[in-house]
Amino acid sequence: MSGTSHIKTTGLTVMGIETSCDETAVAIVDDSKNILAHTVLSQIDDHADYGGVVPEIAARQHISNLDHLIRRTLAEAGVSIGDLNAIAATTGPGLVGGLMVGVMTAKAIAAAAGKPFVAINHLEGHALTARLVEDIQFPYLLLLMSGGHCQLLAAHGVSNYERLGSTIDDAAGEAFDKTAKLLGLGYPGGPAVEAAAHEGNPTRFSLPTPMVGRPDCDFSFSGLKTAVRRVAEACVAERGALFPDDRADICAAFQLAMATCIEDRLKNAITLFRCKTGEERLPLVVAGGVAANQYLRHRIKATADGSNMTFHAPPLALCTDNGAMIAWAGLERFIRDPDINDKDFAPRPRWPLDSAAEPKVGSGRKGPKA
């Protein structure tokens, strides 16, 4: 398959709004790949006592903060609403209360200013972020790892993704968060586990590597999470409590097992991707919040290098949820369809990138989860 042509710069600017989970974020991006302004308000302190995101609290914080973040972002970019070409917002998947806040705000601004509204799939925001910071052409292999998703996809173009593999239970980020909560490491779990693992011995405990050796590209992390609980319980039974060295060693073993699973699944996906494209050397893009983990990033890059793939990942600040990725995805879609206006598009708690694929998890009234 041939890659798409380079985006032509014509002075277009798009504002993106991200409210799918616990970050309220607004950014303005132009088609020269400049992030003109980007503001993010984290809700970590609001959810820390609960060990995870509380949807009602998240939605209320979005309501309280989004308006002034928009004003601040416009001021920092030195533009007005009238200068923008489109308003984009995350429309799914995510916590529906938060999605509604961002979407309704974006639609109201778009309607008042006579601008098009662009509905953005949160996963596509992650999927396209690497193209904001590098000159990456389609097709590319995408490893998307976040709190709610862990997928391998062939990215053939904007809004054109083919799922090669997905988790059949927990996502990678979910496994990190639940491991952190189980070990009493606090929230957010991913950075806490990574920091503890840095001090630990990964060989003290042996943890399972689910799905390794299977010929497909699917993931499973539920069993790994359960094994962590059993090891922690054994430590408490033996020593009377869970000590810092226990936590560090468990985290190191967990991270090693996670990397082994990802590496094995990724090698299968590379083989399948090459069969589909007929190309030997193509980009491998890793995206999503879990891509900020330096140990996993190093292992994935080593796999790419050993498989004759080029490795690409966004800077750490653009791995986690942010407004720039939504603005850029909106710009990519607007450039390809200047007449776009998704004003009738409703927020979706579930919205797979590959809607034609059979669901791996959840296929009820809300649609497939993955």
Cα-Cα-Cα-Cα torsion 111, 113, 114, 120, nearest 10 degrees, comes to -60
Digit-coded pLDDT (tens) for 74-127 = 999 999 999 999 999 999 999 999 999 999 999 999 999 999 999 999 999 999
| CATH no., domain 13-130+318-368 | 3.30.420.40
- Please state, in angstroms and rounded to a whole number, the distance separating the CA atoms of residues 306 and 300: 10
Domain(s) of CATH 3.30.420.40: residues in the chain: 13-130+318-368, 138-317
Distances from the Cα of 271 to the Cαs of 59, 143, 283, 285, 309, in angstroms? 42, 14, 13, 15, 11
- Other beta carbons less than 10 A from residue 367's beta carbon: 16
Angle in degrees, CA 104, 323, 90, rounded to 5: 40
Fold of 138-317: Nucleotidyltransferase; domain 5 (3.30.420)
In sequence order, the β-bridge partners of residue 117 are: 87
Digit-coded pLDDT (tens) for 199-253 = 999 999 999 999 999 999 999 999 999 999 999 999 999 999 999 999 999 999 9
Burial of 78 (0-12, 13-18, 19+ CB in 10 A): exposed
- pTM to 2 decimals? 0.91
Mean pLDDT by 10 residues, the chain (370 residues): 39 96 94 96 72 79 93 97 97 95 97 98 97 97 92 97 96 94 90 97 97 97 95 97 97 98 98 95 95 96 97 94 97 96 95 85 53
**3-state DSSP: the chain helix, strand, coil percent, rounded to 5?**
45, 20, 35
In the chain, the amino acid numbered 66 is: L
